[in-house]
Each structure stands twice: as C-alpha cells, then as structure tokens.
Structure 1
Amino acid sequence: MVGVLRAGLSALLPLAFLGPADGFYIPGWSIKSYRDSEQIPLHVNKVYSDNTQLQYAYFDLPFVCPPSGDHHAGGGLLSGESMPLNLGEVLRGDRIVTSDIELEMNKDKPCTVLCTREITRDDMERAKDMIQEGYVAEWIVDNLPGATSFVTADETRKYYAAGFKLGYTEFSTTSGQTHYYLNNHHTIIIRWRRAPGTAGDRGGKVVVGFEVYPKSIGQGNDRDSLGCPKDLQHIDGALELAMEPGKKSADQKAGQDSEDTPAPAADDDGTLSIPYTYTVHFREDETIEWSHRWDLYFANQEEGSRIHWLAIVNSLIICGLLTGVVMIILAKTVRTDIRTYKEAVAEDGKLRVKRKKEKPAGSGLLGQEGQDEDEADLSDEDAFEDVTGWKLLNADVFRTPPHGALLAPMVGSGVQLLVMAMGLVFLSAFGVLNPSYRGGFISVGVGLFIFAGLFSGYFSARVYKSFEGRDYRRNAFVTALLFPGLAFAVVFVLNMFVWAQASSTAIPFGTLLTILILWLCVQVPLVYAGSYYGFVKAPTWEHPTKTGAIPRQVPQQAWYGKPLQSILLAGLIPFAVIFIELLYVFQSLWQDKSGYYYVFGFLAMVSVILMVTIAEVTVVTVYIQLCSENYHWWWQSFFVGGSSAVWIFVYSVWYYAFKLHISGLVSSLLFFAYSFMACCMYALLTGTVGFLSAYAFVRRIYG
C-alpha cells in the first residue's frame, strides 16, 4: 500500500522523476552493464491474449512452476519477490516477480530442470482454455520483454513480437478431436554487445536482445538422470494435456495400502505430471546498438509508414477544403454582413440599414450637393432595407443558455483533458515517453490530469461567470467531481466483475484508495484554486452586445439545421480526418496488446489537424445556424465539436463485431465500457475546442 501510494504521489511531478526511474530510457543515461558471470535477473510478469481483456499474473497459473523462494547467487533477490511497480504498471495489470531461472552473463547453460509440476484435472482444463484463447506469457530481462522472432515477408529484416505462447492446438481429422499441447521447455537466447564508454573498457556488456523459443516435450522422450531430454533437436512426441481415466500420482501410488483399495476417479483425484526445463544461450551481436534495441519490436510496423503519410495527406486535404470555406465566409460573406450590420439603425424593433440611392450620370463624385440629396432621399420609407439573418440576433445571441451551470464544468473538464492529451502526445513524440518506460504513459497521464485541474477550474469559472453565475464554489465542486467521479464509478463497478475472475486486470484495493486520495486531496484543491483565480481575480468576459428582455422566437429550421441532424453530419468530417490513424490506435489497444504504439509523431500531426478541423467545422455550423435566426448556439457548438465521438463509438461496435474475437461476458463488458469512457473523454475534449472556437467567432462578428 505504501509503495503504491508513493508511486501515485510521484506521478504529480513526473518530469522531476523521469531521470532516476528504473524503466526510463534515454540513450546513454540508464544503461545497465554486466560483467562475465554476473547474475542477470529474469522476471516473469503476466499472461495475456488478443482474444480477451482478462490478464493473469504468471505465477497465479496452477500449471506453471511456482517460485521456490530461494536466493539467487550474487543477485540479492528472492525467487518470487515482487518488484516495485509505478502507478501505470499497476493500472495496466503488470505483476512483475523474480523467477527461479538463473542467467549469468556470457555463460551458456545446458538443459536445466526447473521443476516437475503435478496438476489436477481442473488445472489441466484451465490450461486448455488458456491455450485455446491464445494466451502468451511475458518475461522480462533488463527491461526487455521476451520475444518471439520473425522475418518480414521479403525475408530481408528480422523483427520481434513480444511474448511467447503457452501452448498450441492440433485438430485430428481421424478422431475429429482437438488436441492441446503445453510448452514445457524454453530456449532462452540473450544477445549482448560490448558496453559503450568506460564500462566497456572494464569488460562490461549490455543486453540488446531477449528471445524465448518454447517447445513442447512429452514424457515419452529419453531423459537423463536429472530429467532433461537427451536430444532437444529431435523430439519424439509433444506433451499433450490429456489424462487417462483413473491415473494416479506417485504419492497416491505410494500411499495405497492394498490392492483392494479402489482407484480414485479420474475426475476427482487424477493428476498429470509436467516436467519444466530450460536452456540458455548467449550470443554476441554487434549489429544492434543499445540505444536502438527496441527497434526490432517496431520493425514490422514500419511498413505502415506509407499508410500513415497517406492519412496525413488525407487529413490535410479535408482540412484545407474546410479552411477555404471558412476563409470565404470570413473574407466575403461575414465581412460584407458586418459592414452592413454596423450601418444598421433600429426602427420599430427591427434592424434597418440605410440604402444609398443611385445618382444619375454626371452628378459629381461625392460632392456636398450629392450628399445633401442622399440625406433628403433617406427620409423616404423606401430608403431603408430590413436586416436579415444573423444580424437580427444581436439582442439574443449572448443570452444565457439553459443549464449553463452544467456547460461550464463540462468546458472545464474538456480543458483539463486537452492539457493532459497535449502533454502526453508532446512527450511521446519527443521520445520522453516510450515503451521502455513501462507504465510511464499512464503514470504521467494521471499526473498531468491532476495538475491540469488548475486549468479546469480557471476556464470553468470564466465561462460560469460569463453566464452571470454567482456561486463559484458550487461550480468548482461540480467541475472537480463531474468527470473524475464518473470515471471512478465506472472503473469501480467494472473492477467488481474483474475481481470475480481473479484477473490481474483488477485494480488492487490499495491502488483504488491511492487514486481516491489523489483525486480528493490533490486534484479537488487545484480545481478550487483555479476557480478562485478565474472567478474572483480575472476580469469578466464582456459580451459585445446587450441581451434583450424578451427572447426572440426561433423560426422553423431546415432539416439539416435541426440539432440532431447537424450534429451527426458535422461529426463525419473530423471522423474522416482521424479514421486511418484511429485504425492503428485500435489495433494497438485491442488486438496487438503484445505490441506497442510508437508513431506518436504521426499522431501529433493528425491531432493538430483534427483540432483545426473541429474548430472550422464548428464555426461553419454555428454560422449557418445563426443565419437561420437560431441563437441557441452554446450547447450546439459543444455538441458539434464532440460529435465525431458518436461515429468513433459506432466504429468501435463495428470493430468488435468484425475485427475482434473477444469471448466472454466480462471481456465484452470491459471493451464496451472502456470504449464508452474513451469516447466520453474525446467528446469533452473536442467539444471544448468547438465551444471555444465558436465563442471567439461569435464575439468577433458581433464585436
């Protein structure tokens, strides 16, 4: 509990702790070198699958070798000792524990027996289920996840896929049954090179690669006196997860008193003996620099760079077209309307503009005599024109919207999420946050979100004050509890379902308490501080026109101008901007959970284009709405800005139905709940961008 609390509090100032963090990765800073025969700890983490959202701690599996609790020679670590985790690691389901596998730098180890595990029929069935669902295990050496190596389609490059399979299945055409085989032997290959700098001069070596090749070896193979297979290259039969009816363990046979003792039923007392072994090979590899050792995990993804550039070009084209439309509106239509609007005079409750009368040819150019004639002509009723469109709304356009006390906290929450997202994308694009900093993305995200409470309170108070609000403390309270309270409630309810599955995806109670303390004791005071400054110290956002006493009646709107239709139609344009990049994000989050999303440079460019597009779409939509004499633009601008979240959620449903193979009620519930929460965050963020853009536009044209 104390360790988790300390890790959570440290997330408040993430940049101050990046240097000494164990997982942080800047070339030349955190290099760990080993001398010959020096102990290298191997940690086991968890097992996960692309077909389910439930993860499990590796040592919680009933069919793997449990930790012995022995000391590692020279390592100072106990087998089974849990490693300290930061807040992000805990939230992502990591459970890193020291294993019994012994590695010594540059010292090959022949086949070594790890343990012999006796499992029951229930344990065997669980192993079958996990193999069927495609679970893979994650081991860690020198902060590198154990990987399975592959080559690209053209066989020119090698790349890694993090994790290795627990087993595999084979379908027998003769019997019509599926056979399950468990991988019980692991060949470990550690790639190393000479350490850079003075450490290398002293004989230091660094790890640049960690590969694991699992194999299934049945009990029918010849083994030596220690229990290791004599020939690992030629295996006669794999270890099938099958139990003969009535089979007993050695202990049960030894304890059997007489032949009259009945044999135990296979469903109750039958066991299966699984021998686990491993071999270790060290290979020198001068082709891989320590600073680029993670590149192998991304080599296969680099082929998508052309598609990323296509997404950028597609987004730029859409944004460019919108920019042209907005420039036409601002440079021609609005500019002309504003000039007419400033020349208008009020008459009988309507805005009317003086219409200049044409002069006959030869009458002179703007002489005094001509001006006098115009003044005389303007006395006629025909010399006035009625002002139409958005110019009629000068007394209503800044009328306080309904439920403004809710809109202000939503804008504040959106600003808070915007600051967090900008910080994360910026730090990731410059390489500060990367996969080697395990859990860093989530930890820094939590820290940025809490710190951004200052901005949340400030902007919420400014908007609330412009709505003629009085009780800023109540507004700050709603702002501080609105989105974090919703997120915490959803996570807590989901956690109850995951707890029932004994999954490491479940957030421990201590971590939940830590998050609650960070929320109530740190973020809430920051929101109050920002609200105080924004409401008491900062000046009020003065509107350029006065609001009339009687609201104007809104005329009947065209079908495309109705709220629902305009929101859905406007949301399609930002969705088209991010669609291709969204595909990669979904693939990284839901399918390639063993992989890592790393193209934050592309994401940063798409994000900037997205913000510009949302601002332009909202401005155009609000202008069309005002031209239809509908002054209810406050909420409309917020909903239009966040409307693409609706299409993202629809895309999530399609992705679940046609791309994923998620099985189980809990996994499906996690997918849709997290997708819904992500869409809510996106809607708040983009809705705030749309609202602020529309507010600036309306103030500009009426000012």
Structure 2
Amino acid sequence: MATGWIFVVLAFVCTAYATKYKDGDKVMVYVNKVGPYFNPHETYHYYQLPVCHPDKIEHKSLTLGEVLDGDRMAVSLYDIKFKEDVDNKLLCKAKLSDPDLTTLRDAIEDLYYFEFVLDDIPVRGFIGHLEEGGFLPHNHKVYLWAHLHFNIEHNGDQVIYANVSTKDRSPISLEGQTAPMEVPFTYSVKWIPTETKYADRGKRMRDSSFFPKTLEIHWLSIINSMVLVFLLIGFVVIIMTRVLKNDFARYNLDEEEEVMDEEDNGWKIIHTDVFRFPPYRNIFCAILGVGSQFLAIATGILLMAVGGLFNVHQHWTLNSTAVVLYAATS
C-alpha cells in the first residue's frame, strides 16, 4: 500500500502543467549555465562570462531536481512578448577589459555552450566560433556571437518549442582586439505557429537534441543479454536437479544399504554449515541491503519511465524521483 502511494505522489510531482499566455504577455527567459560542449558535467554560471546582465542579479527559486542537475537560473535582460516578433533589438553594450577578452577567448577555444530556459524549455547555443587554418604555421581566429535569434513555436496560447540561432548576423572577431572594447549584444525573435500539441512537445524536444545522441537504447542487445541469462539459469537448474536427484535416490535405498553407508554424501556433507553465520555478517548485510535498495530504486525509475511519467522539458523530475525513492526505500 505504501509503495502505491509513493508512485501516486511521484506521478503527481512529475506531471507537467502548461503555461497559457495572452498576446503580449511576457515570456520569461532565464540564463542558466555555460560549459565545454564535450564535457556537459562541467558547468558554470552564465553571468561568470563578461556578458550583459542586470544591475542586480535575481536567481530563480529552484526545485530539488534542478539543484541536483547543477542549474543556476537567473533572470535575464531579454524582453520577449508572446506572439510579438522582434527584428533587431539592443540588449546592452558591454565594455570588455583585457581580462574579459581573455575569458571570452578561452571559453570560445574550449567550445563553450550556453543554456537558457524559456517556458521550461532548455535553449542552447555556442558562445562563439573558432576558425582554424594552416598547418605550418598554424593559426586560428576567435569570433564572438553577439547576436542571438530566437525561433519560438506556439500552438494557440501555449509555447511548444524554442531554439536559438547564432548565425543570423556576422560574428565579431576578437583577434588583435585591445581593451577597452565595446561590444553591442543584440537579439531578435520570430514566432512560428505549429500544429504540434503541448502533450507532444517532449517528443519534439527529443528529436532536436543539442548534444550528440550517444546513449541510444539498443533493444536487440538487451534481448540477447536476457536470453543468455535465462539460458545460464536453465543450465544451472538442470545440473542441480540431476545432482539432487542422485542424492535422493541414494538416500531412499533400503535399510540394509543405508546402514552400510555410514558416511555422509552429497549435500549432507555441508548440513552443519547451513545455519552458520558467515564471517563479517554485518558488512555482508549492509552490502546486501544497499544493493537491494538500489535495485528497487532502479526498478521504480524504469517502470515510471516506461509509463511515460517523466517529461523531457522538466529535466529535474528524474533527480527528484531518485531522491524520493531513495528516502522511501531506506
């Protein structure tokens, strides 16, 4: 009964609620984090870069799952209104010092990406562009994307999908630049109607993954592994059945033969060890208990994932579910 209530609570937590807008309503855009593209687990706050930011940085209240996911959402300067296109709007003019230029160059050379959050949709793009050429001598040029173009799909009064493009304007070269350097950061917005329903926007986001899809499920390999496990279990059962059958046949002999057989045979040899405590039983019980707990957590998460209770646009739900299941199974 308790397990059933746990799944009901988790299903309620993981349910997504659509935000409905009226024409002209402000759509909040939160800046989140930056980090190397090929190491998504190394992230920093977006405002650690010398970019446009408010005079007073206001952070968004985060859920437990968002905190575990390393999110650092803060209010941005982007002013986006529902269904209102923006051609070219100035965000701010940033004055870059020598340390600022060095920070941006290092970030671009390390292929840093940024992540914004718009209506619970992660929007990602690259900080800049690195152009390499020649072998001897080797040279490369560093460019900064100072203009962002937002493409936002909507169905009626709901936001369905959003992405950002950095190639609508020419980048700004940082090579040979000296401080102070003034960089105008601009943005544009295009609203696109779509027939995709809000319930299907998770699939829309999965089909447009920013990171390479290296963790695809290979169902054929899983099935082959399961078949192999069942075959091994079957072989062990057959061998054990034959061994025990021979032992039982010998124990069912008549009394004369049984009297002559004074020594223990087969599984009776270890009958005194069956109820003997193993060495380091406390450690053994702890390891067995933790393993069972992790197995229960993994099983619960897999069952909820198969049931479609996790939403891609609410990436914190998986972490929250794991923590709740860990606490419930302790």
Q: What corresponds to 1:137 in structure 2?
A: 114
The SS at the match of 2:105 is helix
Q: How far apart, in 2, do the equivalents of 1:68 and 1:434 lie?
A: 34
Describe the superposition over 1:573-621 as per-residue Cα deviations: whole angstroms up to 9, x where unpaired.
Answer: xxxxxxxxxxxxxxxxxxxxxxxxxxxxxxxxxxxxxxxxxxxxxxxxx
Q: Residues 432 and 391 from structure 1, CA distance in 2 versus in 1: closer, same or farther, beyond 3 angstroms?
A: same
Offset, 1:393: 0.8
Q: Residues 15 and 125 from structure 1, CA distance in 2 versus in 1: closer, same or farther, beyond 3 angstroms?
A: farther
Q: How far apart, in 1, do the equivalents of 2:190 and 2:96 lie?
A: 30
Q: Residues 311 and 332 from structure 1, CA distance in 2 versus in 1: closer, same or farther, beyond 3 angstroms?
A: same
Identity of aligned residues (%): 26
Q: Residues 241 and 389 from structure 1, CA distance in 2 versus in 1: closer, same or farther, beyond 3 angstroms?
A: farther
Instruction: Work out which of the two has the higher radius of gyration on C-alpha atoms and give 1 or 2.
Output: 1
The SS at the match of 1:294 is helix
Q: How far apart, in 1, do the equivalents of 2:155 and 2:280 lie?
A: 64
Q: What corresponds to 2:174 in structure 1?
A: 241
CA contact (8 A) 2:60 2:75 kept: yes
Q: Residues 281 and 300 from structure 1, CA distance in 2 versus in 1: closer, same or farther, beyond 3 angstroms?
A: closer
For structure 2, which runs of at least 5 residues remain unmatched after alignment? none
Does residue 295 of structure 1 match 2:203?
A: yes
Equivalent of 2:189, from 265, 269, 280?
280
Equivalent of 1:40, from 27, 30, 47?
27
Q: How far apart, in 1, do the equivalents of 2:11 and 2:223 lie?
A: 35
Structure with more contact order per residue of length (Cα contacts < 8 Å, sep ≥ 6)? 2
Q: How far apart, in 2, do the equivalents of 1:317 and 1:44 lie?
A: 47
By percentage of residues, which structure has more strand?
Answer: 2
Amino acid corresponding to residue 92 of structure 2 in structure 1 = C
Q: What corresponds to 1:187 in structure 2?
A: 149
Q: How far apart, in 1, do the equivalents of 2:66 and 2:327 lie?
A: 18
Amino acid corresponding to residue 67 of structure 1 in structure 2 = P
Equivalent of 1:335, from 242, 245, 252?
245
CA contact (8 A) 1:186 1:277 kept: yes
Offset, 1:112: 0.4
Equivalent of 1:324, from 234, 248, 267?
234
Query: What TM-score, normalized by structure 2, do the two folds share?
Result: 0.86
The SS at the match of 2:284 is helix
Describe the superposition over 1:283-341 as per-residue Cα deviations: whole angstroms up to 9, x where unpaired.
Answer: 1112x22111121332378x99996221232123212311321331343333333454x
Offset, 1:85: 0.7
Query: What TM-score, normalized by structure 1, do the two folds share?
Result: 0.42
Q: How far apart, in 1, do the equivalents of 2:79 and 2:7 lie?
A: 34
Equivalent of 1:123, from 100, 110, 120?
100
For structure 1, which runs of at least 5 residues remain unmatched after alignment? 1-11, 70-79, 147-162, 195-204, 216-231, 248-269, 344-353, 357-374, 454-703
The SS at the match of 1:394 is helix
Q: What corresponds to 1:261 in structure 2?
A: none
Equivalent of 1:214, from 166, 179, 184?
166
Offset, 1:447: 1.6
Q: How far apart, in 1, do the equivalents of 2:222 and 2:174 lie?
A: 50
The SS at the match of 1:107 is coil
Q: How far apart, in 1, do the equivalents of 2:242 and 2:223 lie?
A: 28
Q: How far apart, in 2, do the equivalents of 1:103 and 1:306 lie?
A: 35
CA contact (8 A) 2:125 2:165 kept: yes
RMSD across aligned C-alpha pairs, in angstroms?
2.9
Q: How far apart, in 1, do the equivalents of 2:27 and 2:216 lie?
A: 40
The SS at the match of 2:272 is coil
Matches within 5 A, 1:460-471: none
Offset, 1:165: 0.9
Q: Residues 426 and 138 from structure 1, CA distance in 2 versus in 1: closer, same or farther, beyond 3 angstroms?
A: same
Does residue 313 of structure 1 match 2:275?
A: no
Q: Residues 436 and 209 from structure 1, CA distance in 2 versus in 1: closer, same or farther, beyond 3 angstroms?
A: closer
Q: Residues 90 and 339 from structure 1, CA distance in 2 versus in 1: closer, same or farther, beyond 3 angstroms?
A: farther
Describe the superposition over 1:511-530 as per-residue Cα deviations: whole angstroms up to 9, x where unpaired.
Answer: xxxxxxxxxxxxxxxxxxxx
Does residue 51 of structure 1 match 2:51?
A: no
Q: How far apart, in 2, do the equivalents of 1:392 and 1:15 lie?
A: 51
CA contact (8 A) 2:150 2:189 kept: yes
Amino acid corresponding to residue 181 of structure 2 in structure 1 = L
